[in-house]
Amino acid sequence: MKITETVDMIIESSGLDTGKALDYAENIPLDELLEMARQVKDRCCPLKFDTCSIVNAKSGRCSEDCKWCAQSARFRTGVHEYPLLAPEKLLEAAQACKSKGIGRFSIVTSGKRLNRSEIDGICRAAELIGRECGIYLCLSGGLLDEADMRRLKDSGIMRYHCNLETAPSYFGRLCTTHSQHQKIETLRAAEKAGMEICSGGIIGMGETMAQRIEMAALLRSLGVESVPVNILSPIKGSALESQPLISEEEILRTVAVFRLMMPRAYLRFAGGRARLSEETIMTALKTGINAAIIGDMLTTVGADVSADMDRIRLAGYEMP
């Protein structure tokens, strides 16, 4: 079957099923796989690239045992620890984000979930940012319920983020203090409250390609349209500090098959891409990635904002 005919089939079917996705990921030559992904992206995704920036609004001291994370209190990673930032500090960060032409601002906090006092603080910050800055607001605040989500939505939070992180079949090997089901319930609570949802994961934590595809299938079934794609950056002191890095070809294959499975999603380059070659970054942008977190990540260095903007334009996108 010719590539164009295969692409027609993928689009008509609203994405590859898991069996075909694994076959394509493992057996189709890389250049052909990337060309399929490029054609699907070009036909299904808007030209406008979606950008966001995050602020680490509460750092460290997390009770959970997520093996990939620098912020767990169970590991000695040397991460900077501090409580929730004041609303005025979050406003400053939001204004800096908007001044650089970034479309969304996401408040991210460590811990299993925000407590009542912290939710009050986030609501005050959201209201202040809404009055003084007007940028689109997102939040990643852990495992919250529908009542919490409604309060946050009323204060101005428009999108909620909670990563699935990995496949259901692999999650329990990486975290035992909460379940992936709790994450799914959190996303459903956000939707019931009227928020958009954002959820993705980390590749390179020892999972198989089949398990990445399993995660993508679950994200698709949940109707997630913003999918962060993180690449593990092994952090000294964490449980995955010695995890071997996956190859750039494997990263490109993963991005391509995600695009073939989720033709219209915003696949969002997130943490870990700083180690990639310029060629790989540009290839990913042209063939599958159509969104990104711009600037530094939570506990690792990201990419220079102006350099990212240049890459995005060079890849043929329009800025918001």
Per-residue pLDDT, 74 = 77
Per-residue pLDDT, 73 = 72
Mean pLDDT by 10 residues, the chain (320 residues): 90 95 96 98 97 91 87 74 95 92 94 96 98 96 97 98 98 97 98 98 98 98 97 90 96 98 97 93 98 68 77 91
State the Cα angle at 215 between 308 and 119, rounded to 5°: 70
Return the structure tokens found at 305. Answer: 């904002």
Q: Exposure pattern of 84-103 as b/e (b: 16+ CB <10 Å)?
A: bbebeebbbbbebbbeeebb
Q: How far apart are CA 105 and CA 41, in angstroms?
A: 25
Per-residue CA distances from 43 to 4, 9, 169 (Å): 11, 13, 33
Per-residue pLDDT, 1 = 64
Return the structure tokens found at 65. Answer: 């045992």
Domains belonging to the chain, first-starting first, are: 48-314 (3.20.20.70)
Q: How far apart are CA 283 and CA 277, in angstroms?
A: 10
What 3-state DSSP class applies to 153?
helix
Q: Element (H or E) spanning 87, and its range?
A: helix 87-99
Per-residue pLDDT, 298 = 46
Complete DSSP assignment for 234-281? --TTSTTTTPPPPPHHHHHHHHHHHHHHSTTSEEEE-TTGGGS-HHHH
Per-residue pLDDT, 315 = 96
Q: How far apart are CA 108 and CA 59, in angstroms?
A: 9
